[in-house]
C-alpha cells in the first residue's frame, strides 16, 4: 500500500526520494508488468509538471504500450518512429524541448509540449522505453536525465 511521503520543494530532492522509496513498491518475484505498473505510479507521484508517464515494451520491431499513468495513448509504435521509436533505435536517451519541432513526433496527449524517452536495456537487449511527457516546453534538463537514468538502472535490476 502506498504511504504518501512528504515531497521536497525541488526536483532534485524529489528524485532522491523517488530513488529511496521506489524499491519498497517493487519486488523481484513479481512479473515485469507488475513492477512497471507500480513504478509508473511512484514516478507520477514524485515527478511534477508532467502529464504522461509510462512504459513501452519491445516485441521484435515494435513497441507496445505498457503500464502508464495519464490519458489513454497509442498502443503500438514502430522502432524508428516517433520519439520513442527513435530512442529505441538509437538505444540512447532523447530529450525533446519542443515536441512540435521534432520531426516524426507522435501525438498521444495533445497537452504534451516536451518529452524525454529513455531506453531500457536488459542483458544488452532493448526491453522497452520509459516515456515522460510534460505540458510545458523545455521541461526536461540534464539533471532530469541523470536521475531518470538512475531510475531505469534500478528498475532493470527488478525486471
Residues that bind ligand SME (CB under 6 A): 52, 73-74, 77, 82-85, 105-106, 108, 112, 115, 131, 133
What is the smallest separation between the CB atom of 23 and ligand SME, expressed in angstroms? 26
Nearer to ligand SME, 10 or 91 (CB): 91
Q: Report in angstroms how near the CB of residue 56 gets to ligand SME at its nearest.
A: 7
CA distance 57 to 89: 13
Q: Which helix (H) or strand (E) holds 156?
A: helix 142-156
> Considering only CA atoms, which of 150, 119, 153, 115 is closest in space to residue 135?
115
Minimum gap (Å) between residue 79 Cβ and ligand SME: 11
CB-closest chain residue to ligand SME: 82
Report the residue number, 91 or 157, with the smaller CB distance to ligand SME. Answer: 91
| CA distances (Å), origin 146, targets 56, 107, 118, 140 | 20, 25, 11, 10
Residue closer to ligand SME by CB (options 100, 146) is 100
Check residue 29 and report its DSSP letter: T
Q: Which residues of 93-110 are buried (b: 16+ CB within 10 A; e: fewer)?
A: bbbbeebeebeebeebee
- At 11 the three-state DSSP class reads helix
Among residues 6 and 103, whose Cβ is nearest to ligand SME?
103
Nearer to ligand SME, 12 or 91 (CB): 91
Q: How far is the CB of 70 from ligand SME (least distance, A)?
A: 7
Helices (H), 4-58: 11-21, 32-46
CB of 5 to ligand SME, least distance (A): 26
Amino acid at each position: 500500500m502506498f504511504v504518501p511521503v512528504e515531497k521536497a520543494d525541488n526536483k532534485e530532492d524529489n528524485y532522491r526520494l523517488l530513488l529511496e522509496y521506489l524499491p519498497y513498491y517493487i519486488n523481484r518475484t513479481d512479473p515485469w508488468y507488475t513492477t512497471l505498473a507500480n513504478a509508473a505510479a511512484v514516478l507520477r507521484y514524485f515527478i511534477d509538471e508532467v502529464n504522461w508517464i509510462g512504459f513501452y515494451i519491445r516485441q521484435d520491431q515494435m513497441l507496445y504500450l505498457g503500464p502508464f499513468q495519464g490519458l489513454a495513448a497509442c498502443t503500438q509504435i514502430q522502432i524508428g518512429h516517433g520519439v520513442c521509436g527513435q530512442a529505441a533505435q538509437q538505444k540512447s536517451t532523447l530529450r525533446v524541448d519542443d515536441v512540435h519541432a521534432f520531426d516524426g513526433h507522435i501525438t498521444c496527449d495533445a497537452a504534451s509540449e516536451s518529452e524525454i524517452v529513455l531506453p531500457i536495456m536488459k542483458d544488452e537487449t532493448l526491453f522497452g522505453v520509459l516515456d515522460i511527457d510534460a505540458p510545458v516546453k523545455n521541461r526536461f534538463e540534464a539533471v532530469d536525465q541523470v536521475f531518470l537514468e538512475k531510475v531505469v538502472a534500478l528498475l532493470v535490476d527488478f525486471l
